[in-house]
Structures are given as C-alpha cells and as structure tokens.
A = this chain, B = another copy of it.
Amino acid sequence: MSAEFALDPRLAGDSVPVIELPLCSVRLMDDARFAWLLLVPRRASTSEIHELDGIERERLWREIGLAGEALRAVAPCDKLNLGALGNIVRQLHVHVVARREGDAAWPGPVWGSGVAEPYAVQARERLVTALHDRLAAAAD
C-alpha cells in the first residue's frame, strides 16, 4: 500500500476506540441503544473484503469472531448481527451488533434506524473497559 491508513472522519466521529487488534481498529459506536462494535482494518484505499489478501481476510474473520464473543460476554444479547455495507462510508468497516428482542430497531437492521443516543460518559467508559479487557485476553 502506498497510501497510509487514516480512519474515516465519519466513523471516527460516530464511535470511540476500544482496542487495536492485529488487523482492525475496534471501536464502540456511541449509541446506547445497541452494544455495537465497529471493526476497521487498518488498510488504506480498501472498501471491499475481497480487496484484502487471503491472510488479512482470515484475520478479519477471526477478529469478527472475537468481537462477537466479547459482546456476548458483556452485553445482553438475543442475536448477533453482522454487517459490512459501506454504501455511505466507503472505507472498509464491519459492524458486529448485540441485538435484544424489543430493542429500538427490532427486528429490523440497526443501519439507518432512528438517531443515535450517545452514552453517558461513565457508562460508555465502563463498557469500553469491559470490551477492551475481554478482547485483550482473547486476542492472539
């Protein structure tokens, strides 16, 4: 890659950092309606999963799995939702969302559903710390 990776400003503005895994920056969406992680591979000029090389793709699937495990461990969850859309922000990013029956978008998708409700700062920090500790313990 010639260009250097820089996190898309919209993704940066919507979320807060949790941990750097070997491939992805993991971030928590600042939306208290859903426990919602964003995984952003630190690869410049990449918008589709198939643009990653084979090793990076394997790494992405591994980190998606870790994100789902961490969410299930720290947040109530009836169903995990996984999504890679990128219709608005083209920088490759993957959503892993802990859904609860009856949550603000249930049973529809979280994307494009209503308006984010930012966390209270202390609640957000507690959740970020819990997710960070889980991911740090599980990551290889």
Q: Size of chain A's interface in residues, with CB distance under 8 A? A: 28
B83 and A109 contacting across the interface, CB-CB below 8 Å:
yes
Residues from chain B with a CB closer than 8 A to the CB of A85 are: 79, 81-83, 109
Within the complex, what minimum Cβ distance (angstroms) separates A44 from chain B? 18
B57 and A61 contacting across the interface, CB-CB below 8 Å:
yes
A80 and B48 contacting across the interface, CB-CB below 8 Å:
yes
A65 within 8 A of B: yes
Within the complex, what minimum Cβ distance (angstroms) separates A131 from chain B? 17
Residues from chain B with a CB closer than 8 A to the CB of A88 are: 107
B87 and A84 contacting across the interface, CB-CB below 8 Å:
no
Residues from chain B with a CB closer than 8 A to the CB of A80 are: 48-50, 84
Neighbour of A87 across the interface among B61, B69, B108, CB < 8 A: B108
- In the complex, A65 Cα to B58 Cα: how many Å? 12
B79 and A49 contacting across the interface, CB-CB below 8 Å:
no
- In the complex, A83 Cα to B86 Cα: how many Å? 12
Within the complex, what minimum Cβ distance (angstroms) separates A125 from chain B? 27
